[in-house]
């Protein structure tokens, strides 16, 4: 018996949730669920195919577990691996139309901030999934994720701009503030949809306010 669209999405959701359940908090199921919520909003605002976007958002991080291993940190691109894995997962959920699957695969392959050659989002749906993922990396949620990651690697709570920018990834100086300086503050200018840019600007303002207040409190009263 052929499953209905909503039933296929429910199966796909369960498959992805099970795969991501044990990942660290920065890229676990909660992250994917937030990206799905962002993607639904952007798809509606931009007039994108809602089902392609939903599936692309659900699958965007399925290759993340392999990238997070010690062996995979320098060798594995989770976007490229996820694109390879997506057809089989979609088929297990009942999605078999080749054109549809290829469209979703593009969304997965092209969602990464640090793009590889040939992986820039081309379709509207891929741009929506890209923006949905980027929105979760900035604003208050993005700050929370940055502190979560810094805590995992044993970084300091805060440092100066000079200390942060002169340091390397995965060092003690790889603070949440460093993540803001080297990546997060540049995200809004790389958004690809009108609604994504609008939301990103507001989240950017929240980050600016937070880090200004944070630096002031860390410095202490005069």
Domain limits for position 38: 1-119
Bin 178: left if φ > 0, else alpha if -120 < ψ < 50, else beta. alpha
Distance CA 91, CA 12 (A): 9
Give the model's pLDDT for residue 120. Answer: 83
Q: How far apart are CA 89 and CA 172, in angstroms?
A: 38
Check which CATH number belongs to the domain holding 162 and give it: 1.20.58.1910
All residues at 6 or more sequence positions from 57 whose CB lies less than 8 Å from its CB, including other chains: 32, 35, 36, 38, 39, 40, 107, 129, 132, 133
Query: How many domains are there within the chain?
Result: 2
Least confident of 84-88, 116-120, 122-126, 173-177: 116-120
Residues 78 and 159 in one domain: no
Percent of the chain past pLDDT 70, that is, above it, reads 93
- Which of 97, 23, 105 has its CA nearest to residue 65? 23
Same domain, 150 and 113: no
Q: Which of 91, 119, 147 is the last residue of a domain?
A: 119
DSSP 8-state symbol, 115: P
Helix axes of 98-109 and 50-59: crossing angle, nearest 10 degrees: 50
Is the domain of 164 the same as that of 93?
A: no
- Write down the pTM of the prediction: 0.93
* Contact yes or no for 41/84 (Cβ under 8 A): no
The string of pLDDT tens digits covering residues 81-115 is 999 999 999 999 999 999 999 999 999 999 987 65
CB contact at 8 A, 73 and 170: no
Q: Is 29 part of a structural domain of the chain?
A: yes
CATH number for 37: 1.10.3210.10
> Which tens digits make up the pLDDT trace of 49-79?
999 999 999 999 999 988 776 554 556 789 9
């Amino acid at each position: 018996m052929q499953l209905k669209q909503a039933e296929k999405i429910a199966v796909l959701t369960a498959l992805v949730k099970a795969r991501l359940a044990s990942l660290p908090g920065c890229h676990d199921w909660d992250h994917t669920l937030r990206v799905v919520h962002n993607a639904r909003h952007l798809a509606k605002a931009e007039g994108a195919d809602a089902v392609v976007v939903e599936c692309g958002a659900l699958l965007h991080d399925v290759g993340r577990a392999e990238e997070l291993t010690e062996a995979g940190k320098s060798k594995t691109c989770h976007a490229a691996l996820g694109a390879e894995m997506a057809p089989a997962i979609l088929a297990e959920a009942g999605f078999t139309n080749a054109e549809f699957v290829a469209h979703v695969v593009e969304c997965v392959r092209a969602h990464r901030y640090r793009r590889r050659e040939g992986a820039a989002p081309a379709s509207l749906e891929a741009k929506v999934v890209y923006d949905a993922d980027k929105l979760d990396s900035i604003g208050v949620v993005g700050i929370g994720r940055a502190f979560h990651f810094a805590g995992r690697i044993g970084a300091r709570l805060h440092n100066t701009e000079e200390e942060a920018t002169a340091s390397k990834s995965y060092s003690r100086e790889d603070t949440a503030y460093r993540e803001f300086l080297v990546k997060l503050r540049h995200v809004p200018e790389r958004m690809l949809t009108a609604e994504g840019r609008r939301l990103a600007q507001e989240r950017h303002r929240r980050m600016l306010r937070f880090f200004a207040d944070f630096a002031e409190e860390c410095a202490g009263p005069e």
